[in-house]
Amino acid sequence: MILLDEIKPGDTYNRLGTANTSASLPEPETETKDRSSLDDDRDLEGSVTSVELEAAAAPQDPNIVDWDGPDDPANPHNWSRARKGGTIALVSAITFVTPLASSIFSPSIEQVMTEFNSTNQELASFIVSVYLLGYCFGPLVVAPLSEVYGKNPIYNVCNVLFVVWNVACAKAPNIGALIIFRFFAGLAGCCPLTLGAGSLADITTPEHRAAAMSGWVMGPILGPVGGLIVILGFLFMRETGANALLEQKAKRLRKETGNPKLTSRLDTGVATKELFKIATIRPGKMLLFSPIILCLSLYMAIVYGYLYLLFTAIPTVFETQYGFTTGQVGLSYLGFGVGSMVGVGITGATSDRISQWLTKKNSGKAKPEYRLPIMAMGSVFVPGGLFMFGWTVQNHDHWILPIIGTSLVGLGMMAGFMSISVYLVDAYTAHAVSAIAASTVFRSLLGALLPIGGRKMFEALGLGWGASLLAFIAVVMVPISGLLMKFGEKIRHYMIFNVKIE
């Protein structure tokens, strides 16, 4: 196999994208492994990236379909800036919509419970957080389906189902139906959060990745009209995955040439059922056997759980203690929004620059760990915001102070979330979707369960000490970023994780 940087200027490409070189090639090594384990016998800790996969030219087999040279415009890495920008905008817009539904019930949950004649506060919290249970199970289906069928059809199907289930929520006849409908809405809504980072990794280079992902991670903050986004997705969203694009090209050429032997270069020869099985199990194995993914997922799970715990606590706090109306309670969430936007802005503006600066200091050698300094900063703001929120409410201080506290939590959360997302994409590019899916499952599970017991904790300890308990746990998590900056590379290189499906 030859690499693109080894191809001479005089080399040509045939119609199938196979390089015709004047240099003789060495005989390929005899492969003794079963092809079904080809994709999953590799070290998960970043030894093979999608960029490296796409950099490999096709073997001298006329039946292998590849890109039409290194500058093939069909390759997402070679798309025009306008097309890349449009794709980033669409992925970000879809991601704006689905997280909105996760918290939209929070300001009006008391009215919902009154309408259904219920006073169960734990049930009220569960109505808000059950959406995240859908986020928990959805990635286990969405991620493998995207590897089998490509990302674009999964986006379109999930977008339609998301709208359908949210309409069903509006028409729910009772609490039980509302809970079920919100679960399925979360199941469909997890798609952009699971696939978005992978889509952006398909079209961006590492040195510009954080800036591109800043729009994607704004999803938990903003939320335009869902129906319009679904229509735009159907009309303008394009597939970005190299596997799916080359398979589509091979299918088209088989039809045009009548040659049934044409196959994609990235086709491992694994049956669809087996490929789905491998892709389904991979996120779980990455979560369980990669200490890096486990630690980062645990951190985000705790912060995410705090976010939804505060979502369910804010209506009670501001209605009973500060006499806010339902509309004013809704405005009290602006603290989260402003803080989150500041966190995304800081991270998006500085992450790439910090990474490039550290890379230059390291003799031009880039490391995924160079994405983590912003996370270190953000991890300090989270406990600080919790302390401020809890004790200003406990002491009956002016209402603006606890809102400022929530803004600090939002800033720290988004700085950490964005840093972790870019880090996982940089470190596990070949399996970015699976890495993000593993992280999403873990954080969504804790985000769904923590608010259920949160009210009881605040009742028992008071808001001051209850928030302080959460803050102390967050303080314990602060060193994670520093430890990974120092030891992350060694862990990735020396911890070998085999995800072969026996």
Q: Sorting pLDDT into bands at 50, 70 and 90, what band is 26?
A: very low
Q: Sorting pLDDT into bands at 50, 70 and 90, what band is 474?
A: very high
The pLDDT of residue 31 is 40
What's the CA gap between 317 and 464, in Å, rounded? 12
pLDDT over 80 at 51, yes or no: no
The pLDDT of residue 60 is 58
Contacts within 8 Å (CB) and 24+ apart, 388-395: 389/310, 389/463, 389/467, 390/463, 390/464, 390/465, 390/466, 390/467, 390/468, 390/471, 391/464, 391/467, 391/468, 393/317, 393/321, 393/463, 393/464, 393/467, 394/462, 394/463, 394/464, 395/464
Average of per-residue pLDDT across 150-156: 88
- The predicted-structure confidence for 215-240, as pLDDT tens digits, reads as follows 566 554 444 334 455 566 666 677 77
CA distances to 56, 307, 322, 346, 479 from 3, rounded to whole Å, are 5, 47, 66, 38, 40
What's the CA gap between 149 and 159, in Å, rounded? 16
pTM: 0.69
The number of distinct structural domains making up the chain is 1
264 in a structural domain: no
418 in a structural domain: yes
Q: Which of 325, 468, 338, 474 is nearest to 395 (CA)?
A: 468
183 in a structural domain: yes
Alpha helices in 262-333 (DSSP H): 272-289, 291-320, 326-331
More confident residue, 305 or 502: 305
Which tokens in the block code for residue 261? 């032997």
The pLDDT of residue 263 is 77
> Quick check: 99 and 223 in contact, CB under 8 A?
yes
Please list, in sequence order, all residues whose beta carbon lies within 8 angstroms of the beta carbon of residue 87, skipping any fewer than 6 positions away. Answer: 79, 199, 203, 237, 238, 240
32 in a structural domain: no
202 in a structural domain: yes
The pLDDT of residue 12 is 39
Ramachandran angles phi, psi of 469, nearest 5° = -60, -45
Is residue 269 classed exposed, middle or buried when 0-12, 13-18 and 19+ CB atoms within 10 A define those classes? exposed
Mapped onto helix, strand or coil, the DSSP state of residue 65 is: strand
Q: Which of 224, 217, 222 is nearest to 414 (CA)?
A: 217
Average of per-residue pLDDT across 165-186: 90
Average of per-residue pLDDT across 288-292: 85
- The predicted-structure confidence for 362-390, as pLDDT tens digits, reads as follows 888 888 899 999 999 999 999 999 999 99
CA angle 276, 279, 284 (to 5 degrees): 130
Average of per-residue pLDDT across 104-120: 79
Q: Strand pairing partners for 373?
A: none
List the helix and strand counts (H, then E) for the chain.
Answer: 18, 4
What's the CA gap between 190 and 158, in Å, rounded? 8
Lowest mean pLDDT among 90-104, 138-152, 316-330: 90-104
263 in a structural domain: no
What's the CA gap between 452 and 308, in Å, rounded? 10
| DSSP state at residue 223 | -
Average of per-residue pLDDT across 322-337: 83
More confident residue, 113 or 16: 113
Which tokens in the block code for residue 15? 């119609």
Lowest mean pLDDT among 38-47, 73-82, 191-200, 251-260: 38-47
What's the CA gap between 400 and 392, in Å, rounded? 9
256 in a structural domain: no
Cα R_g (the chain), whole angstroms: 24
The pLDDT of residue 10 is 39
Q: Which of 149, 146, 222 is nearest to 191 (CA)?
A: 146
Query: Which amino acid is located at 47 in the chain?
Result: S
- Helix pair 209-216, 400-427: axis angle to 10 deg: 130
Ramachandran angles phi, psi of 205, nearest 5° = -95, 155
Alpha helices in 104-190 (DSSP H): 109-115, 121-149, 151-170, 175-189
Q: Which of 50, 440, 428 is nearest to 244 (CA)?
A: 50
Average of per-residue pLDDT across 250-256: 81
178 in a structural domain: yes
Lowest mean pLDDT among 13-22, 124-133, 427-436: 13-22
What's the CA gap between 270 and 306, in Å, rounded? 42
Mean pLDDT of the chain: 77
Region label for 19, one of left (φ > 0), alpha (ψ between -120 and 50) or beta (otherwise):
beta
Count the neighbouring beta carbons within 10 Å of the beta carbon of residue 394: 17
The pLDDT of residue 502 is 40
More confident residue, 50 or 436: 436
102 half-sphere exposure, CB direction, 13 A CA radius? 32
- How far is Cα of residue 450 from the mean position of the Cα atoms in its chain? 21
The pLDDT of residue 386 is 95
CATH code for the domain of 167: 1.20.1250.20
Range of the domain at 143: 76-244+270-494
pLDDT over 80 at 241, yes or no: no
CA distances to 67, 98, 173, 266, 428 from 52, rounded to whole Å, are 14, 33, 53, 12, 12
pLDDT over 90 at 180, yes or no: yes
Q: Sorting pLDDT into bands at 50, 70 and 90, what band is 13?
A: very low
